[in-house]
Amino acid sequence: MGKKLVMAQKRGETRALCLGVAMVVCAVIAYYILGTTMLPLYQKSVWTQKSTCHLIETSIREQEELEGKKVPQYPCLWVNVSAVGRWAVLYHTEDTRDQNQQCSYIPGSLENYQVARADVEKVRATFHEKQIFYCFSTTRENETTVLYQRLYGPRTLLFSLFWPTFLLTGGLLIIAMVKINQSLSILAAQK
């Protein structure tokens, strides 16, 4: 009976060690992927200065080009604001500016024109209600664009690092508990 119990303990300890090591390896891989994808985008982001924007005007434009490619006609919102003491164009995110520089906001669904138009109207109404809101600008002197929302800000970086950190901590705790259990069982066997 004692030999079966010892064998069962060893199998359980081996499985727990494998789980802990697998969790640590997954965390290291996740850190590597985040370090090569998210971290450079965060470091390259020049939109670090939080400013107050005052709405000047909004208009809805019809567009037929997205990321340099011809697409069916879709509505987009164009927003002019006053930020950091000068006139500027507001873009929803960094990606919006890269997709089409003629649009401040591009609706998520472009398949149905009526749904896209309703989405743009809703965002336009929200801007007209607020009039004054926070935006992100760059410290460059001649920059005439600001962002409404940063994709690659500190909060996003912290949220993306949470799960790998949780995996690493959990894996190390499992490994530590197994090793402590092994050392305590050796001490108990010696007495």
Q: Would you state the structure tokens that stand for residue 182, as one six-digit string?
A: 């092994």
How many C-beta atoms surround the C-beta of residue 76 within 10 A? 23
Secondary structure letter of residue 111 according to DSSP: S
Model confidence at 6: pLDDT above 60: no
- Whether the model pTM is above 0.85: no
Mean pLDDT confidence for 22-50 = 88
Residue-wise DSSP of 108-142: S--SSHHHHHHHHHHHHHHHHHHSEEEEEE-S-TT
From the number of C-beta atoms within 10 Å of its C-beta (0-12, 13-18, 19+), residue 171 rates as buried
Model confidence at 165: pLDDT above 50: yes
Q: Specify the 3-state DSSP secondary structure of 138.
A: coil
Higher local confidence (pLDDT), 67 or 165: 165
The pLDDT confidence band at residue 154, using thresholds 50, 70 and 90, is confident
Q: What is the pLDDT at residue 4?
A: 52
pLDDT in tens, 82-134: 877 788 888 888 888 778 788 888 888 777 888 888 888 998 999 888 888 88
The pLDDT confidence band at residue 22, using thresholds 50, 70 and 90, is very high
Mean pLDDT confidence for 68-82 = 76
Q: Are 119 and 76 in contact (CB under 8 A)?
A: no
- Residue 91: name the closest of 106, 112, 113 by CA: 106
Model confidence at 147: pLDDT above 70: yes
Higher local confidence (pLDDT), 2 or 154: 154
Q: Are 51 and 31 in contact (CB under 8 A)?
A: no
Helix (H) or strand (E) holding 24: helix 2-44
Q: Which of 13-17, 115-119, 186-190 has the lowest mean pLDDT?
A: 186-190
Q: What is the mean pLDDT of the chain?
A: 83
The structure tokens 């912290």 sit at: 158
Q: What is the pLDDT at residue 1?
A: 44
Q: Over the Cα atoms of the chain, what is R_g?
A: 27
